[in-house]
A and B are shown apart, each in its own frame.
Chain A
Amino acid sequence: MIGAIVKNDIVTGLLVINEEQIEEMQTALECEIVDAKPYGLIEGDLRTARGWTRNVGGEQVVLELQNGEEPDSYELAMERALAAEEQAAALKEYEEAAKILLGEEEA
């Protein structure tokens, strides 16, 4: 797993570690080691009463739990295009069915 090295509530670095070595490394490095993945922690992140936060443009922004890898703008656009295509196909099917029902077209 990727662990975040936490000292005084600040992430000072990320390390590769097996769960079995967490306690031993916490003692050796005099720190706390937490799983970096849920919040995508990076060096400099700060733990506050509001949760994990990151300095973005001078402001501490609260980090959200992450669900897998964030899609980029192209992937989002492709997702939207696919959804629009499916919607258009469904609409076309509905129109054809409506024409048949209204007797404008034979089944």
Chain B
Amino acid sequence: MIDFGKVREMSIPEGMVAQIMSGGVLLWKKPSAGARFVGYTGTYTESSVEIDGAAYTLYTLTTSGTLTVEGDGALFWMCGGGGGGASGDYSDRYGGGGGGGGYLLQDALSGGKYAVVIGAGGAKDTDGNATNIGTAYNADGGKTGYSDFVYSSYGGNGGSGGGSGAESGVGSVRCGSGQGISTLPFGSSDLEYHCAGGGGGGVYYKSSSGSVSSMGAGAGGSNGSNGGSFSGGGYDGGAGGEKGGGKGGDGSASTYKGSNGTFYGAGGGGGGAYRNASTSKNYEGAGGSGYQGVVYIAIPA
């Protein structure tokens, strides 16, 4: 309390409120107008979560639409669609790289009306699509795996990196890079990891002289990490990253096709490849599709 009798003029700091009382002026921090979820025209669900020890109402937006929020104090977390896995290539003897998980973005959201775009997951050999809130906030889709020359197969970059595709004959690290930050929305243990990378595809190659050179692929990255490098043995596809990353296709048996991502922002698995130089049995699997993006809006309860 400031003694009114001693102060004739005073400035009120920004963000503070002054209340004149008998005998003095009381200053206190201006209260937030209080965020309020007014509505959303697309598909959404409502639930309760704890963020940093405080209770919030969480709105999960899963299709595109118009969002209206009043007041300040809301938070958002969003990610783009996962990248599609790259297809295997038996002629160049590599399994496809896994798709990267969608990129993520978290921030405070001021009151207003926003067009929300929920990005679709990428089909095989294509990038995932961006998720947007209005024109100010953008989270890109994860990248697909790719190859830049014979025998090379890279995992796609993204929220978590895609696993390296297996290569026959060369051995260097070609995993996709992750964003390096946690993919757990708002760091809340009530939620799950997002944006998993897809596993790379395995490869099996038998030369005309009968020598076999096969290789297992790298696993998809989890929780913002890079994808895995390929391993020297076997011909299996890499495992998908934690929570929904698609498994890579194998380099032998009947499972050449990469699996699709199965949770928000997850990348698809790369396709496997099989080549037998002395027979006509050469196979290659297509990459799996990435999974769509999502937007979460958290309002203090």
| A and B together in one complex | yes
Interface: B64 (CB within 8 A): yes
Q: A14-B129, A28-B66 are in contact. List 16 more A-B contacts (CB 8 A).
A: A3-B64, A13-B130, A15-B119, A16-B63, A16-B64, A16-B119, A17-B42, A17-B64, A18-B43, A21-B41, A21-B64, A24-B41, A25-B115, A36-B120, A43-B129, A74-B285
Once bound together, how far apart are the Cα atoms of A104 and B301, in whole Å?
A: 89
Interface: B283 (CB within 8 A): yes
Interface residues of A (CB under 8 A from B): 2-3, 5, 13-18, 20-21, 24-25, 28-29, 36, 40, 42-43, 70, 72-75, 77-78
Find A14's partner among B41, B63, B119, B271 (CB 8 Å cutoff): B119
Once bound together, how far apart are the Cα atoms of A83 and B117, in whole Å?
A: 46
Q: Which residues of A contact B127 (CB under 8 A)?
A: 43
Once bound together, how far apart are the Cα atoms of A27 and B153, in whole Å?
A: 41
B 39-82 to A, binary, CB cutoff 8 A, 1 in contact else 0: 00111000000000000000000111110000000000000010
Interface: B247 (CB within 8 A): no
Most-contacted residue by chain A among B119, B120, B130, B283 (CB, 10 A):
B120
The 3 closest A-B pairs by CB, nearest first: A28-B115, A14-B120, A74-B283
Q: Which residues of B contact A15 (CB under 8 A)?
A: 64, 117-120, 129
A–B complex contacts, Cβ < 8 Å, 29 sampled:
A3-B64, A5-B117, A13-B129, A14-B120, A14-B129, A15-B64, A15-B117, A15-B119, A17-B42, A17-B65, A17-B118, A21-B41, A24-B65, A24-B66, A25-B66, A25-B117, A28-B115, A42-B122, A42-B123, A43-B129, A72-B87, A72-B256, A72-B283, A72-B286, A73-B90, A74-B254, A74-B274, A75-B257, A77-B281
Find A21's partner among B65, B123, B283, B286 (CB 8 Å cutoff): B65
Find B126's partner among A20, A43, A73 (CB 8 Å cutoff): A43
| Minimal beta-carbon separation of A38 from chain B (angstroms) | 14
Q: Which residues of B contact A42 (CB under 8 A)?
A: 122-123, 126
Interface: B282 (CB within 8 A): yes
Most-contacted residue by chain A among B63, B119, B284 (CB, 10 A):
B63
- Verify A73–B65 contact, CB threshold 8 A: no
Find B286's partner among A14, A17, A24, A70 (CB 8 Å cutoff): A70
| Minimal beta-carbon separation of A31 from chain B (angstroms) | 10
Once bound together, how far apart are the Cα atoms of A17 and B180, in whole Å?
A: 30
Residue of A nearest to B80 (CB): A13
Q: Which residues of B contact A29 (CB under 8 A)?
A: 115, 117
